[in-house]
Chains A and B, each alone.
Chain A
């Protein structure tokens, strides 16, 4: 069991470009969560997805950010027209059931906007 796989580990984008972050949950986990961590801060919830459904996106900025978790393939967090303030570490976590067990986190994607 390879755990939660995130790629890429590091991503550099110029302002105005698009960033795509991928997350493959642990085998058997159908609940995926995305969090963002700014330097020296805790994690901030962004979105919670189950297969093909967005359950809670209350932490997602209204513009430029979107997430999906298709029937086949990894979950994708997409940031369009990136700005300097999007620079952060983005973590994905998965769980077999919501609210019952702790999460398994991936190693994160460090996004740098230049």
Chain B
């Protein structure tokens, strides 16, 4: 398996429901980041969680990090149709803290109105 694998690959929910996406990785990290990509567009940074942090919130987003299990989850609460996008986790694994990121394959989220 690759560094930064998301699960599930695709997720379809109704507006108002919560969406949970998971990310697993293999090596030790400096930080883990989540990005959103709308079809045909660039990525938008959502949240960064450092290796010594366990949970972070930003609006309707909640990210957890379990370094013992090498996994992270992204929870979007009270989803909206506008949340429809692909979501990627990315790990910063550089020993020299270069900021180089390794991206997973992404989870495609569809929120039905």
- B33 touches which one: A35, A91, A102 (CB < 8 A)? A102
On whether the beta carbons of A104 and B45 are closer than 8 Å, the reply is yes
On whether the beta carbons of B97 and A98 are closer than 8 Å, the reply is yes
Among B30, B31, B94, B101: residue with most chain A CB under 10 A: B101
Q: B68 interface residue, CB < 8 Å from A?
A: no
Q: B44 interface residue, CB < 8 Å from A?
A: yes
Alpha-carbon separation in the docked complex, A25 to B90 (Å): 20
- B88 touches which one: A43, A48, A99 (CB < 8 A)? A43
Inter-chain contacts of A97 with B (CB < 8 A): 99
Determine chain B's interface SS by DSSP, over half rule: strand
Inter-chain contacts of A33 with B (CB < 8 A): 99-101
On whether the beta carbons of B100 and A91 are closer than 8 Å, the reply is no
Alpha-carbon separation in the docked complex, A55 to B43 (Å): 23
With both beta carbons as reference points, the residue of chain B lying nearest to A104 in the complex is identified as B45
Q: B25 interface residue, CB < 8 Å from A?
A: no
On chain B, the number of residues with a Cβ less than 8 Å from chain A's Cβ atoms is 27
- Given A43-B88, A101-B48, answer yes or no on A48-B100 (Cβ-Cβ < 8 Å): yes
Inter-chain contacts of B98 with A (CB < 8 A): 48, 55-56, 98-99
Q: A7 interface residue, CB < 8 Å from B?
A: no
On whether the beta carbons of A105 and B42 are closer than 8 Å, the reply is yes
On whether the beta carbons of B103 and A56 are closer than 8 Å, the reply is no
B-contact 0/1 string along A95-114, CB 8 Å cutoff = 10111111111111000000
Residue ranges of A at the interface with B (Cβ–Cβ < 8 Å): 4, 31, 33, 35, 41-45, 48, 55-56, 58, 91, 93, 95, 97-108
Additional A-B contact list (18), CB under 8 Å, known A42-B105, A55-B98, A106-B42: A33-B101, A41-B105, A42-B4, A42-B106, A45-B100, A45-B103, A91-B42, A91-B43, A97-B99, A98-B98, A99-B92, A100-B99, A102-B46, A103-B45, A103-B99, A105-B35, A105-B42, A107-B41
Residue ranges of B at the interface with A (Cβ–Cβ < 8 Å): 4, 30-31, 33, 35, 41-48, 88, 90, 92, 94, 97-106
